[in-house]
A and B are shown apart, each in its own frame.
Chain A
Amino acid sequence: MNDDNELTDSAVLSAVRDSISGLPMPTAPRLEAITARGRARRRRRLAGVSIAVTGACAALVVGLAGGGGSGGPVRQLQHVASPVHVSQVHLAAFTVVAGPDGGTTLILSRPQVANPSAVRQALAERGIPALVTANEFCRTADQPAPGVGDVVTLGSPQAGVVIYGSRIPGGVELSIGYRQDPQDSEISFSLIQAGAPLTCTSIPDHGPHGND
């Protein structure tokens, strides 16, 4: 039953189609770039989870909940309080900065791979339920709503990735997996059902199960 103000099914789908179809798309990358990426993936897969942490300066930056500024890697745990109630927790391999607006910025730094338990605890203290894993990427069979895109959005290079912890519903956790090695750094986000069986892989599993 439709009145004049109600879109038909086909009109709804047409609106979706038209909104994207009219948009100029980037041209396809060169085929060589795709095959090179595939070869790199195959090398990583063959390498398994072995990690060689060398070098010093690379950093993986994750901004949480519209967080503010961040500092470089530091070597000792410390808490810093400021007059505007901004607190910082500095650990050897990661930094968490919480702002007065509830924003939080997390920085994972090399040369050390951050202790996942410590990262998880730091996020939990800020109300973000998370499963944090290093060198493996975990998910559950069911992907709970909302989409992870509602919880995690990519920000500017300065802001990093923004995570809205308040949008994570009860019984749901954010799975954060990261892997850092001399050639590549990866970080993966997905929503998982708390307490459900996990499937963990050494590379982010974003494809249909069993197809790779």
Chain B
Amino acid sequence: VSHEQTEFAEFFQASWEPCLRAVVASTGSVQLAEDQVAEAFARAWLSWRKVRRHPAPRAWVVRTALNAGALWWRRHVRELPLAGHDTPAPRDMDDGLDAAVLTALRHLPDRQREVIALRVFLDLDIDTIAGQLGIAPVTVRVHLSRAVATLRHELSSSRAMEVDR
């Protein structure tokens, strides 16, 4: 086993869960996120020589999994037609995800959701997020500010509705 293989294995084991949480926050579905993160790690494995030098490899994985909110399927033909396919988001919510938070997140544009995921779950600073997304730090701040404002409004509304009940 080469040093690089060992290094990737360690990275994978240490990073799986935080990356998955970040993607769950964006997709609202654990199962969908699990598939996307697995695909992202597969791509990281393919490009490990490049990813290992990345300033924030976990961010690379999350960004790859999230990128632009594309949804996709990949299933071996023998598994079709869709037997045991992805579980719908509502069941995930029933499984414990906070519906109000997820709803609020889903109302954000993709870029704002990405910024939230990288900031909150990978604890990246503004400059690192900017470098990862290829945008200016001031733009990251704007996305973050707008996202927080939207989330605040949505969560406050949700909280007010609960109080009224």
Binding site for B on A (CB under 8 A): 5-7, 9, 12-13, 15-17, 19-26, 28-29, 31, 33-35, 37-38, 41-42, 55, 58-61, 139, 143, 145-150, 152-157, 159-161, 180, 182-191, 204-208, 211-212
Contact = CB atoms under 8 A, between A and B. Distances in A.
Contact of B77 (A33, A58, A190): A58
A20 B26 CA distance: 10
A41 B46 contact: yes
Contacts of B69: 143, 147-149, 190-191
B45 A58 contact: no
Given A20-B24, A189-B71, 7 more contacts: A7-B156, A15-B101, A34-B12, A157-B81, A157-B84, A188-B72, A206-B36
A202 to B, nearest CB: 14
B42 A41 contact: yes
Nearest to B51: A211
B161 interface: no
Contact of A34 (B28, B38, B113, B132): B38
B85 A182 contact: no
Interface residues of B, number: 81
Of B9, B60, B152, chain A has the most CB atoms within 10 Å of the CB of B152
18 contacts: A15-B98, A16-B151, A20-B25, A20-B121, A28-B13, A41-B42, A41-B46, A60-B73, A60-B81, A61-B81, A143-B68, A143-B110, A147-B69, A149-B69, A183-B76, A184-B76, A206-B64, A207-B43
A17 B109 contact: no
Contacts of A145: 109-110
A157 B77 contact: no
B151 A12 contact: yes
B155 A212 contact: no
Of B28, B77, B132, chain A has the most CB atoms within 10 Å of the CB of B77
A160 B28 CA distance: 17
B105 interface: yes
B85 A154 contact: yes
